[in-house]
Structure 1
Amino acid sequence: MPMAEPLIVVVDPVVTCDVCPHPWQEHDRLGVRYCTATVAAALARRCICS
């Protein structure tokens, strides 16, 4: 009986935010909303935690 090939798990690289220096995964709901609105409206504003 042939052996099954091992499962290879590929971990996504850290996705950084286009607005602030934080990884996207670390945003809370307010940070997600703030950074998403900043990109959508093409605003030039700093990180919400500044």
Structure 2
Amino acid sequence: MEYQTALGRSDLCFEDDKNLYICEFKVIRKVNKVQSKIDEAKAQIRKKSIL
């Protein structure tokens, strides 16, 4: 389930008493693409973050 916000969508969000967790899921078809997909997901989260 994606969560719609004013800044876009995230795949999963949850929080505890101290932190908000934002998860972005990516499909990886080749093992050698793992790091680039991690970097892509982090950049996507940072781009949409207002913190």
TM-score by length of 1: 0.34
Q: Max radius of gyration: which structure?
A: 1
**Which structure shows the bigger proportion of residues in helix conformation?**
2
**Which structure shows the bigger proportion of residues in strand conformation?**
2
Structure of higher RCO (CA pairs closer than 8 Å, 6+ residues apart): 1
